[in-house]
């Protein structure tokens, strides 16, 4: 791995707009270790990701926003790695990771060392980091909201009079370019970086964000030619956001079609009222319908009190991780490039000790090569189950979700999940040709079992909530 100091000599060239050395843009060879390889769009199937050594890559992990204090970061990273998390999202402009905590251009070395350690920890444990650079929404002289950034205001030693000034003035553009160059000099050419993300939910800022996004995505690509460059929008919970999501998903410089979507009983869209697997799956289908020609990722999800007024009150009852399970599984089985990313890692995943849910999904998809499979997502009708199917060239996967079990029945009404016995799934027209190995995986019991096909019908062992069928050509 290239050390973070090796690119310091490029800083003057970066600030002046000179081209980076061609060595930084060279592709790595197929013999390179996975930890030294970069995440890229697969040239075999642009809907999926792979590593630059050609190995498949399915991102699995949460938003780690509101990151642990530096002294606790190692314990959390180790716990994630033990449960096969390979991908997180950090807000690097917040809290102990914020390099610019006081005013414009005043970079804090101690905060930078916190970020150094966090990225190094993740690199050692095989966890790639989506580096979300900014989150603030306005630049007032005095802080009124959590999302204000008064340190950038001229009244407090900053350079700007407003958010619009930050986004449109030449000094604003130059200052942000300078900050990106600072990141490049310290962290450039790092395989541990999954992607550089310009902003969290940038449509929420108080200013013209779309032209700025186009400009800065190009700058990210120039400075970090071997990392992905992405942008994010607020929760897709309203029909009015569809056209905005279409524009950002189709934007050429935006490497991923990302979507944020929550279970939110105050959301205008009825689909956001649950069940959780439908909330997540519908968001992925919305973006796939745009035909973006790039991977789709559910980048933020979970459950909130109405209109995002706090974490979901029923998290305390969800000791088995019903909601987390659906957030993780539903996107991938609907055609996303990876697992969905939960938001409430501390208040929900950590508090309820649910990290094992990630390990179970990782076991279910172990050994898959999605770009080679060319998966086609579909649904199979069933009287009791929602059957999500990925049909591939040599593998067919079917995730079977009990329609009578969801957050309302189990968490709100206190009804335990039924034991489903004697169920079978008809996969007619969806199976690979030739002799097949058929297995089922119960993620709640962590149990694989051999299964048989009667014609095209797969018999399911007894299960609760959900199970998976995996049919592979021998």
Q: What is the reported pLDDT for 151?
A: 97
Q: What is the reported pLDDT for 48?
A: 98
Q: What is the mean pLDDT of residues 208-216?
A: 98
| Average pLDDT score, the chain | 93
Q: What is the mean pLDDT of residues 200-222?
A: 98
Rounded Cα distance, 192 and 1, in Å: 9
What are the pLDDT digits (tens) for 432-453?
A: 999 999 999 999 999 999 999 9
Rounded Cα distance, 407 and 395, in Å: 31
Is the confidence at residue 13, as pLDDT, over 60? Answer: no
Contact 397, 384 (CB under 8 A): no
Q: What is the mean pLDDT of residues 240-258?
A: 98
Between 79 and 189, the more confident residue is 79
Token digits of residue 77: 């990273």
The arrangement of strands across the sheet holding 424-426 comes to: 424-426, 457-459, 453-454
Is the confidence at residue 10, as pLDDT, over 80? Answer: no
pLDDT band at residue 18 using 50, 70 and 90 as cut-offs: very low
Q: What are phi and psi of 228, to 5 degrees?
A: -70, 155
Q: What is the reported pLDDT for 344?
A: 96
Rounded Cα distance, 453 and 115, in Å: 52
Rounded Cα distance, 298 and 330, in Å: 10
Is the confidence at residue 166, as pLDDT, over 50? Answer: yes
- Counting beta carbons within 10 angstroms of the beta carbon of residue 180, is it exposed (0 to 12), middle (13 to 18) or buried (19 or more)? buried
Q: If we measure between CA atoms, which residue out of 385, 469, 474 comes closest to residue 430?
A: 469
The arrangement of strands across the sheet holding 436-442 comes to: 376-380, 385-391, 395-402, 466-473, 436-442, 447-450
Is the confidence at residue 4, as pLDDT, over 50? Answer: no
Q: How far is CA 68 from CA 73, 77, 109, 327, in A?
A: 5, 10, 19, 22
> Dihedral of CA 441/444/446/447: which sign?
negative
Q: What is the reported pLDDT for 32?
A: 73
pLDDT band at residue 222 using 50, 70 and 90 as cut-offs: very high
Q: What is the reported pLDDT for 236?
A: 98
Q: How far is CA 387 from CA 243, 312, 344, in A?
A: 29, 27, 27
Rounded Cα distance, 109 and 118, in Å: 14
Q: What is the reported pLDDT for 12?
A: 32
Contact 64, 77 (CB under 8 A): no
Is the confidence at residue 121, as pLDDT, over 80? Answer: yes
Q: What is the reported pLDDT for 189?
A: 87
Rounded Cα distance, 277 and 283, in Å: 10
Rounded Cα distance, 87 and 258, in Å: 15
Contact 277, 339 (CB under 8 A): no
Q: How far is CA 192 from CA 37, 83, 128, in A?
A: 9, 18, 5
Q: What is the mean pLDDT of residues 264-288?
A: 98
**What percentage of the chain carries pLDDT values higher than 70?**
93
Name all domains of the chain by residue range, CATH numbers in brackets.
8-367 (3.20.20.80), 377-473 (2.60.40.1180)
Is the confidence at residue 232, as pLDDT, over 50? Answer: yes
- pTM beyond 0.75: the answer is yes
Is the confidence at residue 328, as pLDDT, over 80? Answer: yes
Contact 47, 294 (CB under 8 A): yes
pLDDT band at residue 31 using 50, 70 and 90 as cut-offs: low
What are the pLDDT digits (tens) for 55-114?
A: 999 999 999 999 999 999 999 999 999 999 999 999 999 999 999 999 999 999 999 999
Tell me how many degrees the CA angle 268-64-172 measures, rounded to the nearest 5: 80
First to last CA, the chain: 37
């Amino acid at each position: 791995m290239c050390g973070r100091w090796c690119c310091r000599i490029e800083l003057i060239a970066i600030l002046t707009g000179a081209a980076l050395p061609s060595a930084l843009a060279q592709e790595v060879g197929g013999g390179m270790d996975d930890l030294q390889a970069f995440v890229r769009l697969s040239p075999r199937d642009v809907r999926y990701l792979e590593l630059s050594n050609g190995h498949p890559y399915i991102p699995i992990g949460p938003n780690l926003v509101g990151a642990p204090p530096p002294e606790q970061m190692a314990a959390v990273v180790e716990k994630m790695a033990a449960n096969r998390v390979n991908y997180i999202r950090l807000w690097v402009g917040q809290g102990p990771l914020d390099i610019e905590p006081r005013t414009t251009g005043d970079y804090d070395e101690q905060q930078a060392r916190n970020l150094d350690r966090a990225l190094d920890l993740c690199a050692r444990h095989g966890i790639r980091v989506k580096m979300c650079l900014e989150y603030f929404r306005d630049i007032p002289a005095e802080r009124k909201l959590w999302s204000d950034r008064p340190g950038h205001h001229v009244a407090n030693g900053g350079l700007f009079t407003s958010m619009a000034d930050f986004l449109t003035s030449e000094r604003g553009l130059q200052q942000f370019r300078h900050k990106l160059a600072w990141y490049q000099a310290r962290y450039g050419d790092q395989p541990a970086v999954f992607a550089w993300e310009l902003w969290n939910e940038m449509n929420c800022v108080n200013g013209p964000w779309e032209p700025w996004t186009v400009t800065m995505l190009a700058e990210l690509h120039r400075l970090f030619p071997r990392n992905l460059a992405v942008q994010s929008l607020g929760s897709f919970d309203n029909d009015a956001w569809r056209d905005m999501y279409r524009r950002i998903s189709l934007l050429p410089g935006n490497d991923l079609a990302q979507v944020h979507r929550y279970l939110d009983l105050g959301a205008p869209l009825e689909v956001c009222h649950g069940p959780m697997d439908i909330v997540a799956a519908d968001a992925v289908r919305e973006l796939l319908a745009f035909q973006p020609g790039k991977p789709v990722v559910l980048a933020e999800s979970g459950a909130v009190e109405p209109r995002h007024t706090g974490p979901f009150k029923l998290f305390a009852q969800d000791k088995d991780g019903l909601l987390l399970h659906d957030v993780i599984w539903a996107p991938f089985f609907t055609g996303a490039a990876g697992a969905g990313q939960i938001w409430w890692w501390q208040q929900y995943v950590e508090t309820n000790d649910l990290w094992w849910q990630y390990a179970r999904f990782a076991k279910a998809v172990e050994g898959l090569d999605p770009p080679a499979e060319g998966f086609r997502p579909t649904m199979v009708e069933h009287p009791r189950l929602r059957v999500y199917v990925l049909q591939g060239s040599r593998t067919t996967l079917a995730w079977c979700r009990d329609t009578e079990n969801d957050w309302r029945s189990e968490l709100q009404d206190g009804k335990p999940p039924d034991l489903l016995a004697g169920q079978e799934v008809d996969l007619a027209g969806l199976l690979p040709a030739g002799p097949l190995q058929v297995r089922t995986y119960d993620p709640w019991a962590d149990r694989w079992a051999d299964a048989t096909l009667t014609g095209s019908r797969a018999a399911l062992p007894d299960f609760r909530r959900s199970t998976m069928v995996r049919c592979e050509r021998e």
